[in-house]
A = this chain, B = another copy of it.
């Protein structure tokens, strides 16, 4: 299965935005992500609706953080993306008449549901602030280079 990388992408964007005082345009973010500005706007739409980020039009416009990074977890961001599928596997039929398939579904569903709950719980343990802090640690370890988005991505 082709993997959904929206969560990965949106986190990347958020952490870059956190390094900027001023709004960052979709175009600048897209360049850093090697993608298209519309893709950025698309994955940011849900976060804007939830108030995690805000967008401004016109000169000096762009995206900026609108929340306390220490209060928002990966799970919150996941929900803001619209709860995309976590698992690549699923049951063949949801409400089968066949008793065999009911047994199979029961066993698999339990495992699937538990795995999803497990993953969501993990997401809930990680705040955006923790991610950002980890980034700053890596930055220092590498020699404390610039926080600038373009500089980071130039390497």
Contact = CB atoms under 8 A, between A and B. Distances in A.
Interface of A: 1-9, 11-12, 15-16, 32-33, 74, 84-92, 97-108, 110-112, 114-115, 118-119, 122-123, 126, 130-132, 134-135, 138-139, 142, 152-153, 155
A9 B112 CA distance: 15
Query: At the interface, is chain A mostly helix, strand, loop or mixed?
Result: helix
A104 to B, nearest CB: 5
Contact of A114 (B1, B98, B104, B122): B122
Contacts of A98: 12, 32, 152-153, 155
Contacts of A3: 85, 87-90
B138 A84 contact: no
Contacts of A110: 122
A138 B91 CA distance: 18
B138 A99 contact: yes
B7 A4 contact: no
A105 B134 CA distance: 11
Given A5-B90, A100-B135, A102-B138, 11 more contacts: A3-B89, A4-B89, A5-B89, A8-B105, A87-B119, A98-B153, A103-B138, A107-B131, A111-B122, A115-B115, A115-B118
